[in-house]
Chain A
Amino acid sequence: MANPFMKWPLLRQIFQGGDARGFDAMSEATRNLRPKNDGAEVSRSVCPYCAVGCGQLVFHQDGKLISIEGDPESPISRGHLCPKGAASYELLTHPQRAKQVLYRAPRAKSWTQMDLDTAMDMVAERVWESRERTFVEEQDGQPVMHTKAIAHLGGATLDNEENYLIKKLFAAGLGMVCISNQARI
């Protein structure tokens, strides 16, 4: 469009006629409006909050999340979400989301940042040492093969595969018996 004056809705309406309240009053942006997840990739997911297991569609592009909403094909949720499920995008992107490993030395008054590998090495070291000090191999000729001094708490929000590896390493591998999570009945 050659004439920049025609961008002015008033002039456009005068010269082109039509309803000043509808299409003719719309800006370029309005006329070209599309939903922000238009053409985005979709991953099929499941809400991480309660145990209803609502289906979620996670829209993303170029490694960034765009939006999350219900999966209309789920026979359980039929596309709906409660306020928490509907807030899943914020759950993943809010500014207080932790991104760095934090370390607190004994008796320290504040955190320091630490790199991931170092932290992993240190944790492995702690596990090994505590286990060394407290492992009981056998009693009265029968296997005990455990340590009661290292414990684990957690699981109801974790994936099945994660819980599987936790029990496998901690119990079957390390002999930790103090393993628990939120579940009871």
Chain B
Amino acid sequence: MPGLGTSFGRGGATTAQQDLANADAILIMGSSMAENHPVGFQWVMEARKRGATIIHVDPRFSRTSAMADIWVPLRAGSDIVLLGALIRYVLENQKDFREYVLHYTDAPVLLRDDFRDTEDLGGVFSGWDEQEKAYDPTTWAYRGAPVVQKGVGNSRAGGHAKDRGGEQSRENVYERDLTLQNPRCVYQVLRRHFSRYTPELVEEACGISKDVFYKIAEAFCSASGPEKTAAICYAVGWTQHSKGVQIIRAAAILQLLLGNVGRPGGGILALRGHASIQGSTDIPTLYDILPGYLPMPFFGSDGQSLEKYIEAHKTESGWWNNFDKYAVSLLKAYYGDAATPQNDFGFDWLPRVTGDHSHIGYWLDMADGKMEGLFVMGQNPAVGAPNSGLERRALAKLKWLVVRDMVETETASFWYDSPEVHGGEMRPETIDTEVFFFPGAGHAEKDGCFTNTQRLNQFHEKAVDPPGDARSETWFMYHLGRRLKERAARDARPRNAGLNALNWDYPAEGAIREPVVEEVLKEINGYTVADRKQVAGYRDLKADGSTACGCWIYSGIFPNTNENRARKREAKDALGHGWGWAWPSDRRILYNRASARPDGSPWSERKKLVWWDQEKQQWTGYDVPDFTITKAPDYEPPEGAKGDDALAGDKPFIMHPDGFGWIWVASGLKDGPLPTHYEPLEAPITNILYPEHPSDPAASKLEREGNEYARTADPDFPYVVTTYRLTEHHTAGGMSRYLSHLAELQPEFFCEMSPELAEEIGVEQGSWVTVSTARASIEARAQISTRMKPLRINGKTLHQVGLPYHWGYKGLVKGDSANDLVALSEEPNVRIMESKTLLCNVRPSRSSNGSRRITESSGEAQRSI
């Protein structure tokens, strides 16, 4: 989550859901929280009861809008215009929380004279290389900051570890102008950057009237200062864009200017969408990071040696000064006794990243026949991934496929039941893919931890055995690993060094030999190698090989042999201490040092959270302080201090080497130090601000056969389509369309549209329509409602339609997959696809069973061969 990671220091929601009750205003944007996080939404209702203003910005009037005070329909893809205008509103009207901004952010820091803004260069920042399609961020550095290296690894790869930014920052004290007047200070550069994001632009580009803009600007920005706070909630309505990270950056800037970060009722709540998706980035099954957001080694750069790796990522100040301790402890957890100082703790046994190995990256290789095998566990790309038609066709190019799930998903059955097979495009007799389908265990059939959206680990207990041959993933991985290690034991070639060294001794119990899950969690927590005793936390980790730790940010979750803190169920307070365990160190609201003044006293009685107790000489309050507990507010680091000691007592953002919240991100993001409005990859209008750069220049369209794009304002695709979830279903339907009680609530796939559009194209409620993009055509029922509004964009009427994406060809209720319409595209930092804004056409007709694609020229549907 680099948007939050670069701005604040950690890639995770800054606050807890319950804390929303303390907000004086809540902006929900890029999310329909009442529909997709209904139980979490009770805290928004609580805030509303206490008098908070709830603002919901969404192309459609949803069940969330029905509970909000203000609903703002906007054009999908124009979020940065609105957020930028709010930033401009704060700056022009002096609504920023000045003391907070001066002390806790990099607003006063001076930038280099050779930095050029998008306003200077017509839409790009200085350092743009048109050939490479990449930025050299040298000119973005703070004035006086030494530039360490251009960036780690291939510029096309990586991104999650860049979460932290800061590789460029070796020093932590820079020139600042505390009057905020110097034209080269971040504050003034920010002002200039957003100077044209006026309410007029909002009207033209977003379709939001000036009245409504001022209404929300006043409501949100007035909930700022010592006595008030405001929170922002977002979900994939912000992330699934070609500039998704920058949208979140814009929100982060707004919250830093308003002084809302680290304070009760403030912050940014990233609403994630799966039970343990936060966990699956913390302890990642992602290609570019290792547990705890350590980067994967890249061939040719930090992958050259352990020494180079540590040098590239260890900072002099801030917590990343301990990088080597985390890295070495991880290697010890992986490779056990075989990892020694002599062999660099097995660092050379780790695979190196050489390119884009993300889902989209390797799936295109798969489509080109370059992959042999694939494991799919608890995911359903055949209908759940972008351009799902292309995804399905690519599966047929594999030699073998292993699918593990609780039901026979569309992915498992692509070879006989997909639209491509029914339409004749593919035939089982010519599909060589060998397919293994393994039944999976459900959550009540296994022990294990989920990490929820607020970084909270909760352990779920096994209640019953899984049925038949269904097994947990733990069981599957353990026994697969056992078999492979047995083979490797007879084969000592260098390629098997990692496999042979792999520490895979987990105790297994019962007739089916299920590994004891808590033993794995203990490894994740970390232990001292000599006596296998659990460590109390990441402060105990060492770089000399005497400690092992599977994920340093989770260290402390299992601090003693019998203390699984994720399993605890004794909530002591509203923030939930005593119930589960949040990383890091059970801090529930991150950066909470910022809830106190520089001198350590609370900003106000009403908004106190954590403060300095002069008598006890430590930080205290309602949360675990996200700060060294005995570091006084007036602490000044001595000369030559390192790590956390190098941070003064008034610097809340402790993961950053300078301790500031970063309005300006000098390094770490591939598409700019500041968010800029670009149009989506398929846009109904040209970029009003920067016509020469219609979309994010660093994003990838990956154009190829089967992944074509509409032109800007393409007459064949005159409407904008956006995708979303419904409360009644879950993701691509594997956990809902097979359940009668959920299937009956929303049995059919529909397309929401306004009565105006329905009339224009000649459609009645419930009749079939074909929705098509440059990639595919699908059919849906017309769901006509005044909750969809036509917008006035750049002088013309624009219609938007909405598609819930839950359907597929298996289950009790079936329907076409909205993902067939989405393009495979990659946001530059995290490689996420743009599914929230596409160009489409809608016509009253039915599609046939096959997957159909529109040719570029004629707009007529043609069967693909």
Contact = CB atoms under 8 A, between A and B. Distances in A.
B641 interface: no
Interface in B532-579: 550-551, 554, 567, 569, 571, 573-576, 579
B415 interface: yes
A124 B36 CA distance: 39
Contacts of B271: 51
B307 interface: no
B494 A182 contact: no
B378 A158 contact: yes
B435 A153 contact: no
B300 interface: yes
Interface string B705-734: 000000000000000000000011111000
Nearest to B33: A52
A153 B375 contact: yes
Contacts of A168: 334, 502, 550
Contacts of A121: 483
Given A124-B483, A163-B280, A167-B290, A150 B438 contact: no
A84 B357 contact: no
Interface of chain A: mostly helix, strand, loop or mixed = mixed
Contacts of A165: 473-474, 477-478, 481, 520
A152 interface: yes
A178 B283 CA distance: 16
Contacts of A111: 437
Contacts of B448: 159-162
B739 A106 contact: no
Contact of A164 (B399, B437, B551, B831): B551
Given A107-B431, A121-B483, A166-B477, A97 B464 contact: no
Given A177-B351, A185-B239, A53 B275 contact: yes
Contacts of B476: 120
Given A96-B407, A99-B439, A76 B17 contact: yes
A156 B274 contact: yes
B576 A183 contact: no
B449 interface: yes
Contact of A144 (B17, B299, B362, B812): B299
Interface string A169-180: 111111111111
Contacts of B460: 43-46, 56, 159
A157 B372 CA distance: 25
B760 interface: no
- Most B CB within 10 A of own CB, among A54, A97, A163, A179: A163
Given A84-B742, A87-B741, A99-B470, A166 B434 contact: no
Contacts of B244: 184-185
Interface in A45-100: 45-56, 58, 60, 63-65, 68, 71, 73-78, 80-85, 87-88, 90-92, 94, 96-100
B363 to A, nearest CB: 8
Given A98-B439, A128-B484, A160-B279, A74 B571 contact: yes
B219 to A, nearest CB: 26
A27 interface: no
Contacts of A114: 436
B411 to A, nearest CB: 9
- Most B CB within 10 A of own CB, among A60, A76, A90, A160: A160
B463 A60 contact: yes
A56 B370 CA distance: 44
Contacts of A53: 275, 450, 452-454, 456, 458, 580
A110 interface: yes
Interface string B265-286: 0000011111111111111111
A124 B436 contact: no
A149 interface: yes
Interface string B423-463: 00000111111111111101111101111111011111111
19 contacts: A51-B37, A51-B452, A68-B444, A76-B454, A90-B739, A97-B439, A124-B480, A124-B483, A142-B303, A151-B373, A152-B377, A159-B460, A162-B474, A163-B279, A164-B283, A172-B334, A177-B296, A180-B362, A183-B280
Interface of A: 41, 43-56, 58, 60, 63-65, 68, 71, 73-78, 80-85, 87-88, 90-92, 94, 96-111, 114-116, 119-124, 126-128, 130-131, 133-135, 137, 139, 142-185
